[in-house]
Chains A and B, each alone.
Chain A
Amino acid sequence: MSWKQTKDAPFFVGYLNAVPKQLIAFVGIFSVCFIAGLGLAALALSSTQNDPGNGGFQWGNRYENVGLLELRPYPVLRVAAEGENPARTYMLTGQGKRGVFSQAENNAGTPVNLRGVPVNRGDLTMIQVGKVEAAGEGAAEFTPSEPVPLGRWKLAGEICDGKCYAGAMRPGRGLAHKACADLCLTGGIPPVFVSSGAVDGRNFFLMADKDGNVLGDEIKALLALYVEIEGDVERLDDLMVFKVDLATARILK
Chain B
Amino acid sequence: MSVQYTPVIWNRNKIFYDAILLVAVALYLYVFIRVAPAFEDVTKPIDGAILRMRAFGSCAFLMLTVILCIGPLARLDRRFLPLLYNRRHFGVMTAGIAAVHANYVLGWYFAFSPTDRYVALLSSNTSYGQLLGFPFEAFGIAALLILFVLAATSHDFWLSFLGAPIWKALHMFIYPAYAFVVLHVALGALQGPADPIFTSVVAASVVLVSGLHFATGRMEARRDRGDETAKASLQEEGWVVAGELDDIDEDCAKVVTLSDDERVAIFKYDGKLSAITNACAHQNGPLGEGKVLWGCITCPWHGYQYNLADGRAPEPFTEKISTYRLKLIGSTILLDPNALPPGTHVDPVEIGEAA
Interface residues, chain A, CB within 8 Å of chain B? 1-7, 9-17, 19, 22-23, 26-27, 30-31, 34-35, 38-39, 41-56, 95-98, 167, 169-171, 174-180, 182-184, 186-187, 220-221, 223-225, 251, 253
Contacts and interface: CB of A to CB of B under 8 A. Distances in A.
Given A179-B120, A180-B110, A15 B11 contact: yes
17 contacts: A2-B78, A2-B289, A5-B252, A7-B249, A14-B11, A14-B303, A17-B13, A43-B39, A51-B42, A170-B44, A179-B135, A180-B124, A182-B124, A186-B124, A187-B115, A220-B126, A221-B130
Contact of B133 (A4, A35, A47, A175): A175
Interface string B99-128: 000000000111111110000110011110
A19 B82 contact: yes
Given A34-B24, A169-B47, A175-B188, A14 B193 contact: no
B31 A186 contact: no
Residue of A2, A17, A52, A221 with most partner-chain B CB within 10 A: A2
Contacts of B247: 4
A38 B193 contact: no
A1 B77 contact: yes
A10 B31 CA distance: 36
B353 to A, nearest CB: 23
A46 B20 contact: no
Contacts, number: 241
Interface of B: 1, 9, 11-14, 20, 23-25, 27-33, 35-37, 39-47, 50-51, 54-55, 58-59, 62, 66, 74-83, 85-86, 108-115, 120-121, 124-127, 130, 132-133, 135-137, 187-189, 191-198, 201, 219, 223, 247, 249-255, 288-291, 293, 298, 300, 302-303
Contacts of B111: 96
Contacts of A177: 109
A97 B24 contact: no
Given A2-B289, A14-B303, A42-B28, A49 B20 contact: no
B298 A13 contact: yes
Given A17-B11, A47-B37, A54-B44, 9 more contacts: A1-B77, A5-B291, A12-B81, A15-B13, A27-B82, A42-B55, A45-B198, A175-B187, A179-B110
